[in-house]
Amino acid sequence: MSSQPNLSLDPRQKMLRVVKGLMLSRIIILTLLLAISFFFQLSEKRSFFVPMTNAFYYFLILFYLVTIVYAVLLKRIKDLHRFVFIQIVLDHLFITFLIFFTGGKDSFFPIAYVFSIIGSSLVFYKRGAFFSASLSTFLYGLLLLLQLHYGVTPQGQVSFVEASQVFYSMMIYMATFYIVAFLSSAVSEELKKKKRELFQKEVDYNELEAFNRNIIQSLDSGLLTIDLDGQINFMNRTAEKILARSGEVLIARSIFDLFPEIGRALDQLRAKGSDAISDYQRYETVFAKDDENKIYLGFSISPLTNLEGSLIGHTLIFQDITRFKEMEDQMKRIDTMAAVGLLAAGMAHEIRNPLAALSGSIQVLKSELTLNDHQDRLMEITLRESERLNALITDFLLFAQPPQIHREHWNVVKLLDETIELFRHSPSFHEGMEIRRPNPLGNVETMIDRDQIKQVLWNLLINAAQAMDQKGTIEVGWERGRESRRGLGAWPTASRNGKEWLKISIRDSGPGIHPQDKDKIFEPFFTTKEGGTGLGLSIVHKIVENHNGMIKVETEMGRGTTFMVFLPIEVDEGRKDAERQDPRG
């Protein structure tokens, strides 16, 4: 949307135009008089309607010089209205002297007063027009009276003037002056009114345009307009922010360079023909901000028409729906877990009782019977598999019916240190592994269930160790902050209320997770490890969710995987009251 040019000028600029117009008109009239005089002098005629005297030429040259002085002073004059008024008065005096040099009552130039009256009306409107008419009448009448009673005439001219002729000439020109003043003032007042109306319409238009522009720029949705060839011709600030591109870069570029799949939606609109004018199309796509960051965009596409209703392009309104897609995936995962949980709970109880009886019976038979090596090995395999099946059922029950949360005040950083120390002495930690702690010290207390959060940390450490195949680096870090701080990952939506959060990140140097598997890792029974149950990360997700937290995963093939656990930092109300009462707090 390009803004329209400003139709109105600054008052000083308008007055400057008027002054320059008056000066130009004066130059044209003087040049015309000189040209006529010179032409008839060359034709060896002494006069036509202008007597060819030296005084006449001197007078014209003098007023040329006066006009040049006007032009020199123009940039230095501050009060242009007074400057124009002085010029108009001097113009009247110039015309009076011109009439005097060209025969007085017999001169053809009293009509020149008409131009001054019109010029006055254009600058000072009605008052200026009648002032100019009165001044013209006074000066012309004074000249005639001087010529009648005192015989004032240019040198070399003889005056034979009758009183009746003077009276008649005076009345004719006075009537002419005032009629011209009346008509020119009426026209100038009408022009003034129209200018005022035009200026007001321009102000209204500019305000409306600014209002519409501000609405478009203030939308929390991105807005693009394209022509029929798909060339981008406008985009608002939100579109620039969402796409991480400046308008200068994208204007005149093809929309298909940004969204290759949008062609199908536009083809559907075109296929509808005239019905597309009142219809719009909506679709979703993935947009790559750069090589690493991709976002989901939701589009609505509607036709763009001109005043005649003809299709001239399309309007695209879009939003970043990445967070909504994550929430949608999370809700689907929750629904899946709930359904599987109910099934798991029922099956686990039905399987666990006969499994316990079976395992106990095998142990009794093993102790009472005399077995050879082969039979003893079969008994060991049966007991080991029954224990593995019992562990799987235990994970089932933990996932389906996690124990009730008992929240207490705990230092999560200290709990993280304890879990890491236990992990270092566990069978899962091998000599080729290294654990790095960028920020090992700290004290972050919040309300958690110690055992359950320890289970979360333990499962994530085990998962990192299994991903690295007995060698590599595990980096464990923590950070506290709010959503507004950069580099803290995608914080939960609840952080917008100002609540602080703790982020615990566990990063491995393994091969990474395949993009097709990334969205499935928290689903029950999904695993890519041989002998895995597929419940470890599902249990982690459920425990974090029950703590009103959030877990996020970032991975890159060949570079490793990072799990980030977000826990709200909550303080017990009783402890808050104690801290307020403690003068040392």
Over range 34-61, report the average pLDDT.
63
What would the 3-class secondary structure string for 304-352 be?
EECCCCCEEEEEEEEEECHHHHHHHHHHHHHHHHHHHHHHHHHHHHHHH
Position 292 scores a pLDDT of: 65
- Identify whether residues 290 and 332 lie together within a single domain: no
Mean pLDDT of the chain: 78
131 is a domain residue = yes
- Identify whether residues 301 and 335 lie together within a single domain: no
What CATH number should be reported for the domain holding residue 573? 3.30.565.10
Q: Which of 179-183, 264-268, 335-339, 425-429 has the lowest mean pLDDT?
A: 335-339
Write the DSSP string, 1-36.
Answer: -PPPPP-S--HHHHHHHHHHHHHHHHHHHHHHHHHH
Position 280 scores a pLDDT of: 55
Residue 574 has pLDDT above 60, yes or no: no
Q: What is the pTM of this model?
A: 0.45
- Identify whether residues 379 and 438 lie together within a single domain: no
Rounded CA Rg of the chain? 48
Residue 377 backbone dihedrals phi, psi, to 5 degrees: -65, -35
Position 3 scores a pLDDT of: 42
- What residues are paired with 286 via a beta bridge? 296
- Identify whether residues 313 and 340 lie together within a single domain: no
Residue 345 has pLDDT above 80, yes or no: no
Tell me which residue of 54, 53, 114, 123 sits closest to 87, measured CA to CA: 123
Over range 98-126, report the average pLDDT.
82
3 is a domain residue = no
Residue 289 has pLDDT above 80, yes or no: no
What CATH number should be reported for the domain holding residue 368? 1.10.287
Residue 8 has pLDDT above 50, yes or no: no
Position 137 scores a pLDDT of: 92
- Identify whether residues 419 and 392 lie together within a single domain: no
Task: Enter the DSSP assignment of 438.
Answer: S
Residue 484 has pLDDT above 60, yes or no: no
* Angle 256-259-262 from CA coordinates, rounded to 5°: 80
Given the DSSP bridges, would you call strands 432-436 and 471-481 parallel, antiparallel or unpaired?
parallel
Q: Which of 9-13, 26-30, 40-44, 334-338 has the lowest mean pLDDT?
A: 40-44
What would the 3-class secondary structure string for 46-85 be?
CECCCECCHHHHHHHHHHHHHHHHHHHHCCCCCCHHHHHH
212 is a domain residue = no
Q: Which of 67-71, 240-244, 343-347 has the lowest mean pLDDT?
A: 343-347
- Identify whether residues 238 and 353 lie together within a single domain: no
Position 390 scores a pLDDT of: 75
Residue 562 has pLDDT above 70, yes or no: yes
What is residue 155's three-state secondary structure?
Answer: coil
What is residue 445's three-state secondary structure?
Answer: strand
Residue 182 has pLDDT above 90, yes or no: yes
Provide, rounded to the nearest whole percent, the portion of the chain with pLDDT above 70.
Answer: 80
Position 179 scores a pLDDT of: 94
- Identify whether residues 335 and 395 lie together within a single domain: yes
- Identify whether residues 157 and 50 lie together within a single domain: yes
- Identify whether residues 35 and 159 lie together within a single domain: yes
Band (pLDDT 50/70/90 cuts) for residue 4 is very low
211 is a domain residue = no
What CATH number should be reported for the domain holding residue 292? 3.30.450.20
Q: Judge contact between 312 and 287, C-beta under 8 A.
A: no
Domain boundary among 351, 371, 400: 400
Residue 514 has pLDDT above 50, yes or no: yes
Band (pLDDT 50/70/90 cuts) for residue 45 is low
- Identify whether residues 47 and 153 lie together within a single domain: yes
Position 145 scores a pLDDT of: 85
| Residues 228-243: b if buried by 16+ CB within 10 A, e if exposed | eebebebbbebbbebb
Domain boundary among 286, 320, 354: 320
Paired tokens of 568: 């709200």
Over range 454-470, report the average pLDDT.
88
Tell me which residue of 343, 401, 398, 406 sits closest to 539, measured CA to CA: 398
Look at 139 and 493; give whichever has higher pLDDT: 139
207 is a domain residue = no
Distance CA 337, CA 524 (A): 7
93 is a domain residue = yes
Over range 302-321, report the average pLDDT.
85
Give the helix/strand (H/E) hosting 379: helix 373-400
* Domain tally, the chain: 4
Q: Judge contact between 285 and 319, C-beta under 8 A.
A: no
- Identify whether residues 270 and 172 lie together within a single domain: no
What is residue 216's three-state secondary structure?
Answer: helix
158 is a domain residue = yes
Distance CA 544, CA 30 (A): 95
Range of the domain at 24: 11-200
209 is a domain residue = no
Domain boundary among 271, 299, 320: 320
Band (pLDDT 50/70/90 cuts) for residue 12 is confident
Q: Which of 171-175, 238-242, 321-325, 403-407 has the lowest mean pLDDT?
A: 403-407
Over range 450-468, report the average pLDDT.
89
Paired tokens of 418: 């304890």
Greatest mean pLDDT among 336-350, 408-422, 535-549 lies in 408-422
Q: Judge contact between 333 and 523, C-beta under 8 A.
A: yes
- What residues are paired with 319 via a beta bridge? 298
Residue 5 has pLDDT above 50, yes or no: no
Look at 289 and 88; give whichever has higher pLDDT: 88
Cα–Cα distances (Å) from 228 to 57, 247, 263, in that order, read 68, 19, 12
- Identify whether residues 166 and 183 lie together within a single domain: yes
What are the tens digits of pLDDT across the range 384-423?
A: 777 777 777 776 666 666 667 788 888 998 999 999 988 8
What are the tens digits of pLDDT across the range 87-99?
A: 888 888 888 887 8
Greatest mean pLDDT among 309-313, 375-379, 482-486 lies in 309-313
Residue 173 has pLDDT above 70, yes or no: yes
Distance CA 563, CA 555 (A): 9
| Residues 371-409: b if buried by 16+ CB within 10 A, e if exposed | eeeeeeeebeebeeebeeeeeebebbbbbbebeeeeeee
